[in-house]
Structure formats: structure tokens, C-alpha cells
Amino acid sequence: MTKSKKSIVMRGALLRPLALGQSALLHAGGKIYHTSRVVAVHEQSDDLVRFETLNSIYCLSMSPFPLAACNPLPMMSLAACA
């Protein structure tokens, strides 16, 4: 039986480029994080990176609204205020 990996959403910065087989080094929330080895990079842009380690799946946003980029809200219609 395979165990699912936990998803981690953060706002911060990479302190070094991601490399397969090496740990990631992140700065988020005033702390420095050292992950387990990177096994896949799923998406990488100037303001967002999604990658997978041996233990977790990370979504790191370097923009002001990390949850909007990593977990978009379903489409909603706006109601007029009376």
C-alpha cells in the first residue's frame, strides 16, 4: 500500500536552484527549510514553483498571494448588492 505525500503550500523564496537528487533550500515565514531530496519539478516560473521530494509535494509562491496561485478558487458569479 502506498502512502500519499503531504502537500505543502508556502510563500517564500528558493535559496538555491532546484536540482534532482538534491535537497531544496527554502526561505519562508522567516525560517529556512531544508527538504528531503527532490524527485521531480512539476512547474517553475518567475513567481511559482511546484516540486516533489521524497516525502512531500511543495507549491512555493514568490508572489504576494500564494494560495491564489496554488489553489485557485472555483468560479463564482458576483451578486449585485441591493
Question: In the chain, how many domains are there?
Answer: 1
**What's the pLDDT tens digit per position in 19-52?**
999 999 999 989 999 999 999 999 998 889 999 9
Within-domain flag for 80: no
Within-domain flag for 35: yes
Within-domain flag for 29: yes
Place of cell 463564482: 76
pLDDT at residue 46, rounded to an integer: 84
Q: Which domain holds residue 31?
A: 6-66
**What's the pLDDT tens digit per position in 51-69?**
999 999 999 998 765 455 5
Within-domain flag for 51: yes
Within-domain flag for 79: no
What angle is formed at CA 4 by the lines to CA 12 and CA 29, rounded to 5 degrees? 15
* Contact (CB, 8 A) for 24 and 35: yes
* Contact (CB, 8 A) for 57 and 7: yes
